[in-house]
């Protein structure tokens, strides 16, 4: 089956279809060490392997415009990495390159010590795109079954999930859809989660809830998230990376954000 462009976002749904029809994908999933971890052991095993992914030397052009010239970003299980940058600097492009829905001119991607051309092939990477993830005709209950086997009990304890279980995504408000998509990605079976603007369209109280969930989950997972609600992003991130002029910069404090032109300098 040919999957390209935005269709890649729906990969988990195609995966379910394939599994239902006896495809070997299920065997792949069961072989993944993450799913086979005994529930009481993950931290002991983390100490030995410290799951990590990194992407290095990312170079991408759209036509004759170089969007990313030499970018490196990494994420370990147990940490939250905030990715900041002005509009159009290439944040979404970078996340798509890591996930595998954009093929750049060059990149070197390693997940758990293995090189991948497309991150989703690791079966250990979930990506929330800036736009919608779940097709409108899918019900919340189906989406939970597709993406969240390991954490399904925790999801079903949440009121927002329980009350909409039998509802299709197209019948939800924009904000309800977004909140549920963020929850589905955070509580997915993957070890690593990429969230592109998870706080946008959401009420402040919901943003606080998402931050709480990330803090709960990060003992078992690594997150990279981008958002223009930079205060919320800084609150939840263990470290912050700024994309600027096609390169990545480590951000240590607010002054660094001013220095690199992300925040305006205070007027005298
Ligand atoms: N499919 C595309 N074709 C051509 N240019 C694109 C495409 N997608 C994004 N761009 C351009 O690449 C730049 C980076 O886009 P994007 O990664 O979406 O930025 P960000 O997420 O940081 O706001 C922008 O200037 C945008 O116009
Ligand atoms: Mg973007």
What mean pLDDT comes out for the span 207-233?
95
Q: What is the pLDDT of residues 92-101, one digit of tens each?
A: 999 999 999 9
Residue whose CA lies nearest to ligand 1 atom number 24:
88
Residue whose CA lies nearest to ligand 1 atom number 17:
90
Å from CA of 160 to ligand 1 middle: 33
CA distance 55 to 96: 12
Please provide residue 111's backbone torsions phi and psi, each rounded to the nearest 5 degrees: -125, 125
Residue whose CA lies nearest to ligand 1 atom number 27:
88
Å from CA of 90 to ligand 2 middle: 7
214 domain residue, yes or no: yes
pLDDT recorded at residue 267 = 73
Q: Which of 243, 224, 15 is nearest to 99 (CA)?
A: 224
152 domain residue, yes or no: yes
pLDDT recorded at residue 50 = 72
Confidence of residue 15 (pLDDT cuts 50, 70, 90): very low
Å from CA of 196 to ligand 2 middle: 7
Query: Does ligand 1 come within 6 angstroms of the Cβ of 91?
Result: yes
pLDDT recorded at residue 24 = 39
21 domain residue, yes or no: no
What mean pLDDT comes out for the span 171-190?
97
Q: What is the pLDDT of residues 243-260, one digit of tens each?
A: 999 999 999 998 999 999
264 domain residue, yes or no: no
Cβ atoms 70, 59 nearer than 8 A: yes
pLDDT recorded at residue 13 = 52
* Number of neighbours of residue 161 by Cβ within 10 angstroms: 22
88 domain residue, yes or no: yes
Q: Which residue has the higher pLDDT, 107 or 25?
A: 107
pLDDT recorded at residue 40 = 40
Confidence of residue 189 (pLDDT cuts 50, 70, 90): very high
pLDDT recorded at residue 147 = 94
pLDDT at 112 over 80: yes
Query: Does ligand 1 come within 6 angstroms of the Cβ of 67?
Result: yes
What integer best gives the mean pLDDT of the chain?
86
Residues 6+ apart with CB under 8 A from 106: 57, 58, 59
Query: Does ligand 1 come within 6 angstroms of the Cβ of 88?
Result: yes
Kindly state the percentage of the chain with pLDDT values over 70.
81
**DSSP calls for 168-220:** BGGGS-HHHHHHHHHHHHHTSS-SEEEEESTTTT--HHHHHHHHHHHHHHTTT
132 domain residue, yes or no: yes
Å from CA of 238 to ligand 2 middle: 21
Q: What is the pLDDT of residues 18-43, one digit of tens each?
A: 444 433 333 333 334 333 334 444 44
pLDDT recorded at residue 42 = 45
Residue whose CA lies nearest to ligand 1 atom number 18:
92
> What is the number of domains present in the chain?
1
Residue whose CA lies nearest to ligand 1 atom number 6:
62
Residue whose CA lies nearest to ligand 1 atom number 16:
90
Confidence of residue 51 (pLDDT cuts 50, 70, 90): confident
The domain of 139 spans: 48-259
Burial code (b: 16+ CB inside 10 Å, e: under 16) for 107-133 equals bebebbeeebebbbebbbbbbbbbebb
> What is the token pair recorded at 207?
């943003």
If you search the block for the tokens 């019948």, which residue do you land on? 171
If you search the block for the tokens 């990279």, which residue do you land on? 224
53 domain residue, yes or no: yes
pLDDT recorded at residue 10 = 55
Query: Does ligand 1 come within 6 angstroms of the Cβ of 264?
Result: no
> Reduced to 3 states, what is the DSSP secondary structure of residue 87?
coil
Q: Which ligand is nearest to the CA of 66?
A: 1
Residue 187: CATH number of its domain: 3.40.50.300
pLDDT at 194 over 50: yes
83 domain residue, yes or no: yes
């Amino acid at each position: 089956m040919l999957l390209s462009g935005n269709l890649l976002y729906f990969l988990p749904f195609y995966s379910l279809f394939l599994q239902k029809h006896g495809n070997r994908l299920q065997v792949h999933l069961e072989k993944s060490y993450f799913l086979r971890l005994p529930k009481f052991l993950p931290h002991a095993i983390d100490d030995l392997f410290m799951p990590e992914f990194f992407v290095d030397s990312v170079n991408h052009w759209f036509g004759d415009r170089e969007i990313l010239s030499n970018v490196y970003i990494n994420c370990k299980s147990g940490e939250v990495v905030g990715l900041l940058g002005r509009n159009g600097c290439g944040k979404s492009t970078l996340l798509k390159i890591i996930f595998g829905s954009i093929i750049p001119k060059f990149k070197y991607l390693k997940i758990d010590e293995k090189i991948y051309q497309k991150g989703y092939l690791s079966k250990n990477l979930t990506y929330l795109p800036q736009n919608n993830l779940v097709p409108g005709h899918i019900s919340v209950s189906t989406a939970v079954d597709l993406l969240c086997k390991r954490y399904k009990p925790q999801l079903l304890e949440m009121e927002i999930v329980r009350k909409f279980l039998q509802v299709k995504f197209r019948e939800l408000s924009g904000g309800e859809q977004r909140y549920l998509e963020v929850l589905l990605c955070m509580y997915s079976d993957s070890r690593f989660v990429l969230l592109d603007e998870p706080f946008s369209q959401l009420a402040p109280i919901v943003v606080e809830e998402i931050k709480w969930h990330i803090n709960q989950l990060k003992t078992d997972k690594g997150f990279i998230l981008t958002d223009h609600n930079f205060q919320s992003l800084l609150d939840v991130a263990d470290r912050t990376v700024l994309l600027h002029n096609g390169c990545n910069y480590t951000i240590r404090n607010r002054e660094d954000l001013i220095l690199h032109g992300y925040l305006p300098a205070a007027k005298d």
